[in-house]
Amino acid sequence: MDLMVCVGSSCHLQNSRDVIKRFKELIEEYHLEGSVELKGSFCMGHCADAGVCVKYADEIYSVRPETADEFFKTTVAKAD
């Protein structure tokens, strides 16, 4: 399953780089390297949301670096 993080300019300003870095660590912590693929994405048209735009299993989420752990635990690790 692809875990897409927007790297467009609005999301970049919301620290998409930190979200990607944390997701990378979490994928290792949860041993999901074989099932979750982290990818960068161009703008997904949700720039106005209060966070970095993340797409997983065809759903769009808004994630901040400080909510990345919780999002990953409840949405990505759980769905796997």
Q: Which residues bind to ligand FES, rule: CB under 6 A?
A: 6, 8-11, 43-47, 53
Query: Which residue has the closest beta carbon to ligand FES?
Result: 8
Instruction: Using the CB atoms, write b or e for 36-63: b if 16+ within 10 Å.
Output: bebeebeebebeebebbbbbbeeeebbb
Tokens of 60: 């769009």
Residue 48 neighbours by CB under 8 Å, 6+ apart: 10
Residue whose CB is less far from ligand FES, 32 or 54? 54
CB of 34 vs ligand FES, minimal distance in Å: 27
In the complex, least distance from residue 59 CB atom to ligand FES, rounded to whole angstroms: 14
Smallest gap, in angstroms, from Cβ of residue 62 to ligand FES? 9
